[in-house]
Amino acid sequence: MSVTRKAVAGAERLVVKVGSSALTTAGSGLDVERLNALVDALAARIAQGSQLVLVSSGAIGAGLAPLALGKRPKDLATQQAAASVGQLQLAHAYAESFGRYALTVGQVLLTSDDVVRRSHYRNAQRTFSRLLALGAVPVVNENDTVATEEIRFGDNDRLAALVAHLIGADALVLLSDVDGLYDGDPRDGATRKIAEVADDSDVEGITVGMSSSGLGTGGMVSKLAAARTAAAAGIPVLLAAASEASRALSTAEVGTAFAAADSRLSARRFWLGYAAGPTGRLQLDDGAVAAVVRRRRSLLAAGITGVSGDFQAGDVVELVDPAQRVVARGVVAFDATELPELIGRSSHELPAEQRREVVHADDLVPLRR
């Protein structure tokens, strides 16, 4: 067994994410039998002494049948209506199912704002900490009923990765209708399942697509992105089929395992790199990219070639290389209106009051490429 799989199997605190397609069916709504099978596996892991947070999709899917909707609606208002009906059904089903094991469920509904804003982020941390200390099982979902296009996570895979770091999880398990990561379309017999991902080079060049179930918003693209986000932050990840939840949560000898980076990011640096919403971009030359990414230096005005966005000093911005790839994020020290006249200029050429780092190294997080 690999080190990563041992880490997942032995994790004392873990986040488990389950997708809509594993819990609901088009036209029939929530599949209680499959939900109970999932809870059986989760309860067995809790009985072994682990603390567990469940990130569950399925609210919109669960609301389709009661509202006589044949398929997932495309407009936001109808999605919110379906979520308001389905969320109640989903919460009740989990409460009933976990109740078979005398386990109490606590519902936590989050919007992107709750992890993008630092004050909300800390409040969410405290809520999860207290629920787990009290022996409850937090069941998390995006707050689809009130979330707008501007503040949506977009999929619960990303939400699960953010929650995993937020609660200090030892591992993240992503359960879906696919039994792992493939180097192409798994329906094609010529493709190969990737058992272990040690770093980003193991997934370079592979083609992944969206789910064909029509019930969810993620697919393998979002699962791969979530796995890489969590792994880069120091959290081992297992991607497996929901039908194999029992093995995934016991021996972890199924699916695809993503090795964690050597060190875990602090809460603030993780927030900077993966949770905060950037309000602009700074374009860097090759020298600045090398300084920021490889040597972990501060960004100076001399290495900037362009500015875009409407941001204020203290906002989070993306740093991009000459090929427009995002290589880092950081807190900018100047307003967007101030920077154009500074870019490309050495510090000794600037007025004394402007001789400071554009993004200080302490406020900068290089991202894996």
Extract the annotated binding site for ATP.
Answer: 17, 176-177, 217-223
Residues making up the binding site: 17, 57, 144, 156, 176-177, 217-223
Q: Give just the sign of the alpha carbon dihedral 201, 203, 207, 211.
A: negative
Instruction: Quote the distance between the C-alpha of residue 22 and its chain's center.
Output: 19
Dig out the tokens for 320 from the structure: 């991009």
Task: Give the integer Cα–Cα distance in Å for 93 and 359.
Answer: 48
Number of Cβ atoms within 10 Å of the Cβ of 331: 17
Task: Give the integer Cα–Cα distance in Å for 57 and 156.
Answer: 7
Task: Give the integer Cα–Cα distance in Å for 179 and 302.
Answer: 48
Residues making up the binding site for substrate: 57, 144, 156
E-only strand ranges, the chain: 13-18, 24-25, 29-30, 51-56, 105-110, 137-142, 171-176, 181-182, 193-194, 196-197, 237-241, 256-258, 280-284, 304-309, 316-320, 326-331, 364-366
Dig out the tokens for 275 from the structure: 């949770």
Distance separating the N- and C-terminal Cα atoms of the chain: 28
